[in-house]
Structures are given as C-alpha cells and as structure tokens.
Amino acid sequence: MQLSRTALLEAYRKMRTIRTFEDKVHDLFETGELPGFVHLYAGEEASAVGVCAHLDDEDRIISTHRGHGHCIAKGCDVEGMMLELFGRRDGVCGGKGGSMHIADLSKGMMGANAIVGGGPPLACGAALAAKTLKTGKVAVTFTGDGGSNQGTTFESLNLASVWKLPLIFVFENNGYAESTGSGWSVAGGDIVRRAPAFNMPGVQVDGFDFFAVHEAAGEAVERARRGEGPTLLEIKFGRFYGHHEGDAQTYRAKGEVAKLKAEKDPLAGFRKRVTSAALLTAADLDAIDAEIETLIEGSVALARKSPMPDPKVDLLTDVYIRY
C-alpha cells in the first residue's frame, strides 16, 4: 500500500506526539509532579499509529493500562490528556479517570483499561454493535503479551470467531509483562500460534517498523470491513521505559534499552526510510518535531494552571445518569 505524503506526515506527527508526550510524562513523574501508576508507550509508537491509520472516529479501539499511545493515535486531544494526567477538572475525563482510564468515546477511543484482559470482551461488543447496526465499522483491541494469557482474552478470540465479528486483535508483544518474560508466560512463546486455534488468520509483525504494521493492519481491517471476521496480529517490539514509572528494570539485560533506542527506534527507522526514499525531507520531519515540542510544553503549562475538580461538586456526580 502506497502512503500519500499527507498520510506519511500524519503518521510521523502521531508517532512524534506519542514519543514527546511520553518523554515529558516520564520527566514529570520523576520530579514527583504526576502521581499514580503511569505506563509509557515510548518505543511502541508504530503499533498504535500503524493500526489506527486505518480507522476513523466511528471505528473503535480499546486499549490497556499502557494507553497514551493508543489515545493519541486515535486522535484524542493531547491537552485534554495532559490535563487528565494532572487530575484536572478539564481533563478529558474530568480528572476522574487518570492515566489508566483515559478515554474519549467521541473519538472511538473506548478507554485505557487497568484490568489486564478487560478490553477484549468490550471490543467484541463494539464490533457487534458495528455488525448489528451495519455501519461498516470495525473494532480493534490492543492487548499485551501478558494480557494474552488472561481468560477473558481467549474467550473473546473464540467469540469473535464464532460471531464473525469485524474485530482485530492486536497483541503488542513487548517481551515483558511487568518483569516477566513473554517467552516464559506465553506457552510456546508466540502469540500468533494461537490464531489457528480460533480459526482466524494470524500475522506476526516487526513492531519497530511502521510500514510493516501499517500493511498487516490494513489487510486485517479490510478483511473485517468485508465481513470476513477477526484477525490476530502479534506485534513484536520493546518498550523504552520500565513497566511503569518507578520500575528499576533489573530484569532486563544490561544495555538492552540503550541498544533498542539506538538500533530499533521506530521514529528513527521511519525517518530513515522516508528520507532515503525521498518521500519526505528531514526538514518536513524537523518541523513536526518542533511543532510537537511546543504542543506538549504548552499542554503541560496549561495543565499546571488549570483548576482542580471541586470535591463538593464533582465527587458524587457521574455515577449514574439518573438514580
């Protein structure tokens, strides 16, 4: 699939936004400014962006605890996200959700989800709604290697196949679930081997390579749109930070992260590929880098001066629509 200049610029912009957002959040967490459990997506950008490039606002995705990248790729407002992480009233979830529950239904982003395996059943529902209402839309559920072992995930694979849902299971295999290696926790090592068990196609993809992800995801989405049912994608790559902020990462090999950053950075790979093929220029990309830097800095500045929710008003609202 040949990508247009606009599409390429957009893909890079999204990936750069994720990277800069995450690097910034990392710093903010280190200084103690951000609280809670925060899981960063840096290094995995090609997956979210490569998949979501095929989707519009009515296609739906469900994410995991590591959700910032999926949000950005799906078009969520970056300022609203930053405010949310700061727990501010004007955050995308009013400050009530935080990093692990960030969502924007209006963008088809059905939420980060802090229950590992929480998303796949919900995604079956999103896909079922599309099928029932004949919208031609699809759903995508992102799950980690660790989450691939959750019973809810397996059930969803089977249900999606039996119901022939327009659903793509994207397994983001970054090699670890917290500190546990996926080669150990996933029997047999490869998640893609589970696809035949559920009678669906499965594809393993180099997740550092935006173009590989983009192509595999495109086929899966097309298949789903044609009504041919679900596909399993296993995206293999590595995360640039710890499991969550504060993780000392002693379970990783010495130099592993440095090597990843040096040799496998999906943004660097993208840059090399598009500039060497003369699809985009370094200047195009540099301009985006600068633009995004400003965007993220601005969102932090805005978050800092934004009001907190008011416990008297906001604590008890939004539990029910009516009670």
Ligand X SMILES: Cc1ncc(C[n+]2csc(CCOP(=O)(O)OP(=O)(O)O)c2C)c(N)n1
Per CB under 8 A, which of residues 149..178 are in contact with other proteins? 149-152, 155-156, 158-159, 162-163, 175-178
Strand stretches in the chain, DSSP E: 60-62, 139-144, 167-173, 176-177, 180-181, 202-206, 231-236
The residue count for binding ligand X (CB under 6 A) is 17
Distances (CA, A) of 239 to 159, 252, 289: 30, 11, 21
d(CA 203, CA 85): 34
According to the binding rule CB under 6 A, does residue 116 interact with ligand X?
Answer: yes
Query: Alpha helices, DSSP H only, in 53-173?
Result: 68-73, 78-85, 119-132, 151-162
Sorted by sequence, the CB contacts under 8 Å of residue 231 that are 6+ apart come out as 168, 169, 195, 200, 201, 202, 203, 219, 220, 223, 224
Q: Rule CB under 8 A: is residue 157 a binding residue for its own copies?
A: yes
* 309: helix, strand or coil: coil
Closest residue to ligand X, Cβ-based? 144
Minimum distance from residue 118 beta carbon to ligand X (Å):
7
Which residue stretch of 183-191, 193-201, 233-241, 288-296 sits at the interface with other proteins (rule: CB under 8 A)? 183-191
Q: One symbol per residue from 191 to 210: x for binding other proteins (CB under 8 A), - otherwise; what is it?
A: --------------------
Binder of other proteins out of 50, 98, 202, 207 (CB under 8 A): 98
Of the residues 11, 102, 186, 280, which one makes contact with its own copies according to CB under 8 A: 186
Q: What burial class does residue 78 get, using C-beta atoms within 10 Å of its C-beta: 0-12 exposed, 13-18 middle, 19+ buried? A: buried
Hey, which residues between 112 and 141 contact Mg ion (CB under 5 A)?
none
Stated as kind and residue range, the H or E segment containing 217 is helix 210-225
Output the CA torsion sign for 120, 126, 129, 134. Answer: negative
Query: Which residues within the stretch 24-43 sit at the binding site for ligand X (CB under 6 A)?
Result: 39
Q: Least distance to Mg ion from the beta carbon of 172, Å?
A: 7
- Contacting residue, 101, 193, 244, 273, with its own copies by CB under 8 A: 193
Q: Based on CB atoms, which residue is closest to other proteins, 103 or 233? A: 103
CB of 161 to its own copies, least distance (A): 4
Residue from 5, 37, 272, 287 touching other proteins (CB under 8 A): that is 37
58: its two tokens: 């009515």
Q: Which stretch binds its own copies (CB under 8 A): 56-64, 91-99, 170-178, 181-189?
A: 181-189
In 3-state terms, what secondary structure has residue 141? Answer: strand
Name which of ligand X, its own copies, other proteins, none residue 113 binds, using a CB cut-off of 5 to 8 Å depending on partner kind. other proteins
Q: What is the separation of C-alpha 171 from the centre of its chain, rounded to a whole number of angstroms?
A: 11
Q: Whose Cβ is closer to other proteins: residue 289's or residue 314's?
A: 314
Min dist CB 281 to Mg ion, Å, is: 35
- Residue from 34, 82, 177, 220 binding ligand X (CB under 6 A): 177
State the Rg of the chain over Cα. 19
Q: What long-range pairs does 271-275 form, CB within 8 A, spacing at least 24?
A: 271/12, 273/211, 274/8, 274/12
CA–CA gap between residue 236 and residue 206 (Å, rounded): 5
Binding positions for its own copies, rule: CB under 8 A: 149-155, 157-158, 161-162, 184-189, 193-194, 196-200
Binding positions for Mg ion, rule: CB under 5 A: 144-145, 174, 176-177
